[in-house]
Structure 1
Amino acid sequence: MTLSPHSSLCLSQEQSELRDAVRAFLTRLPDAPWSRFAAELGVAGLAVPEEYGGAGCGPAETAVVCEELGRALSPHPYLQTAVLAVEAITATGDAAAMARLLPPLADGSLTATVLLPGDAELTLDGDRLTGTARGVLPGELVLALVGGTLVEAAPSSRTPLPTLDQTRPLTALAFDAVPAVRLGGGTPDRIRDAGVAALASEQVGGAAACLEAAVSHARQRHQFGRAIGSFQAVKHKLADMLLLVESARSAALAAARAPAPRLGVLAAVAGSYCGEAYLGAAAENIQIHGGTGITWEHPAHRYFKRATCDAWLFGPPQAHRARLASAAGL
């Protein structure tokens, strides 16, 4: 079985080299801190304009990094820092805010997170922010969209939360009339769609890793004198997994390369499909591994846990399908 046949075909030479560099780093130094990962590879600033210390690239490049991070189950705060925060700050058009915040985000010396409507209960009274947020991706810099305005505020407290997926930390934030700096206007849907598209690429990476592990095990594991991959039932499972992975990759690529007017629809398609595809691939990987797949020592359960939690990060697949139905006038 040939894995991910069109993955490389859909990437430019530069994107393929970026993928290889990120994969090599995560293989060689899986426990390297965020600052080193960001500094050595320069990936934190891919979407940051060049005048603010970034590479001036776009979602297609950040999607390459996201897929590799998902493949490695990396806990690096790339999604919230290099995607959500950069998108939120640049969308304000506030030159002073961009000059102050984007350079440290680009060089990896600062991490960030963004609180979107629906993810937090916040009120802005003048220049004071009050409220709470649970299940938030952690970041040093906290940005919040309140009433169409992006604000920067330091929470009164940060409480790490116990999570099913220990590779994706979550936290609870509380704001007790803390000072808030207004950075400009923000569009929640645009920021959320950017996050959904990036997460879809992560999910593709995780699903592809599950497929690779399942194929490798099916080739090596023998029963009745034969590799289990030669049994028709196992072949069917692997073929179904391949279909899931490649279909998810197509949806994620479409969202990553979507023009602005089409981003909402294509992100909803990716959000609807990629989460369920990842869950399906992760579950089948456990099944093909048999008893080994349910042991704590084997990584199969870690992918299933990441898939389960990711499926709810920006709303469940049903919510994305509801958006598609609304866009279609149904």
Structure 2
Amino acid sequence: MSTQPDLLYTEEEEALRAAVRDLLTDHCSPADVLARTASGTPHDRGLWKSLAEGMGLAGLLIPEEQGGHGASHREAAVVLEELGRAVAPVPYLTSAVVATEALLACGDRELLGRLASGRTIGALAVGLHTAPGADLRPVHVENGTLHGELTGIADAAAADVLLVPADDGGLYAVAADAVTVTPQVSLDLTRPLATVTLTGAAGRRVGDAAPAVRRALRAAAGLLASEQLGLADWALTETVRYLKERKQFNRPVGGFQALKHRLAQLWLEVVNLRAAARAAADSLATGEDTDITVAVAQSYAAPVAVRTTEEALQLHAGIGMTWEHPVHLYLKRAKADSIAYGTAGAHRASLAALIDLQAPVPA
């Protein structure tokens, strides 16, 4: 009989949070992110090096015997919360979670060791919109080389190695310099998308694609909820702070009853999101009721993150509508995350099937 999970943060998790937040405070301020997105070079290589090599966070999910730290999804979730709070332009989710989970399913020790060091960035060549269990769009294998085009690949421009599912059922590791990566227009400037074109690219088969991709996308969907929690928590915290300082009719705007009600509702939703995100992380760590818990988390997380960031923009009034204020970065990330690894509707449909909840029959 399974015991009730403890979703509270442990002392070690809080210490990890403090360390990551301190680093991001020093090296990833909103002004820094705004400047980077405006420059056309969204990926922050220096910050990634500090996170991955300096703090060793790229190898959290990789066992110690394979060069990692042997931590659990709970610790990775804490890191993603903080990265969400800073809307950090680093490929942590795509490399340290998604690509890593795919390789863990395949058992490829060589690539796992490279990803754990942080010196190699990986990306799973599956569209960001793909939900766990969805049909894949594999490339064609011909005479031992890969041919095809894949769209909507997150952080492909930063990757050193791409994990490409092929029509022979295999998952292939392909060097980034063997493919053509073409940037796509993306709403979220901090997690850019690209089209990957393979024209006779050489690849090394690392395992079977179907189970590896399913495991990777399930972990991605579950831990994405923690990133969405970080987005929502920042938006609520900053909005409360602003409304306490902003005055109208010689009194703080936050003192008006109508705004208090809106903020209270947002607070309740963020609290519930925290519970859902923590449950998903704990379930991924323990392996208990994982599909159901991940589906519940993503059914709830995306709408709350979008609504909280939308409210933040509105309640910041005129300044919130300016390009110079960072709230638009959070809203764009929340909107992009709302279709990443499956929409809330797709996860609700998946949840209904998992618990055998039939749709109502039309009268």
* Fold shared, TM-score > 0.5 on shorter chain: yes
1:52 corresponding residue in structure 2: 66
Indicate the percent of aligned positions where both proteins have the same amino acid.
39
- Does the aligned pair in 2 maintain the 1:119–1:133 contact within 8 Å? no
Shift of 1:115: 2.4
Query: Could you give the per-residue CA deviations for residues 178-229 of structure 1, whole angstroms, max 9, x where no partner exists?
Result: 2221112241322111000121110100000000111001110111121111
Deviates more, 1:145-154 or 1:180-189: 145-154
Contiguous gaps of at least 5 residues in structure 1 = 1-8
- SS across alignment from 1:278: helix
Alignment coverage as a number of residue pairs:
319
Residue type matched to 2:72 in 1?
Answer: G
Residue identity in the other structure for 1:175: L
RMSD: 1.8
Q: Which runs of 4+ in 1 moved over 6 A?
A: none
- Give the equivalent residue in structure 1 for 2:204: 181
The residue that corresponds to 2:317 in the other structure is 290
Q: Secondary structure at the match of 1:10?
A: coil
Instruction: Name the structure 2 match of 1:266.
Output: 293
* One-letter amino acid matched to 2:123: T
One of 340, 345, 348 as aligned partner of 1:318: 345
Q: CA deviation at 1:56?
A: 0.3
Residue of structure 2 in register with 1:165 after alignment: 188
Cα distance in 2 for partners of 1:169, 1:192 equals 18
Q: Which residue of 2 aligns with 1:152?
A: 173
The correspondence for 1:14, drawn from 2, 12, 15, is: 12
The change in CA–CA distance for 1:271 and 1:126 in structure 2 (over 3 A counts) is farther
What amino acid is the match of 1:152? A
Corresponding residue of 1:5: none
**How far 1:146 moved relative to its partner?**
3.4
Task: Measure the CA separation in 2 of the matches of 1:254 and 1:124.
Answer: 40
The residue aligned with 2:306 is: 279
Trace 1:97-116 onto structure 2 (pairs within 5 A): 97-98=108-109, 100-116=110-126
**SS class of match (2:341):** coil
Distance in 1, Cα, partners of 2:261 & 2:314: 13
Change (3 A) 1:222 1:235: same
For 1:35, give the aligned amino acid. Answer: K
1: CA distance, partners of 2:201 / 2:185: 26
* 8 Å contact from structure 1 (residues 23, 68) kept in 2: yes
Alignment of 1:246-261 (within 5 A): 246-258=271-283, 259-261=286-288
Equivalent residues of 1:200, 1:270 under 8 A apart = yes
Q: Which sections of structure 2, spanning at least 5 residues, go unmatched?
A: 1-6, 29-43, 127-133, 359-363
Aligned with 2:277: secondary structure?
helix
Report SS of the residue matched to 2:139.
strand
Whichever residue aligns with residue 185 of structure 2, its letter is P
CA distance in 2, matches of 1:149, 1:67: 33
Q: 1:11 to 1:163 in 2, by over 3 A?
A: same
Residues 105 and 215, structure 2, Cα contact 8 Å, conserved in 1:
no
Asked if residue 200 in structure 1 is aligned to residue 203 in structure 2, the reply is no
Residue in structure 1 matched with residue 25 of structure 2 by the alignment: 27
Task: Give the C-alpha shift of residue 164 in structure 1.
Answer: 1.4
Matched, 1:132 2:149: yes
Q: Secondary structure at the residue paired with 1:312? A: coil
Match of 2:161 in 1: 141
CA offset at residue 256 of structure 1? 0.5
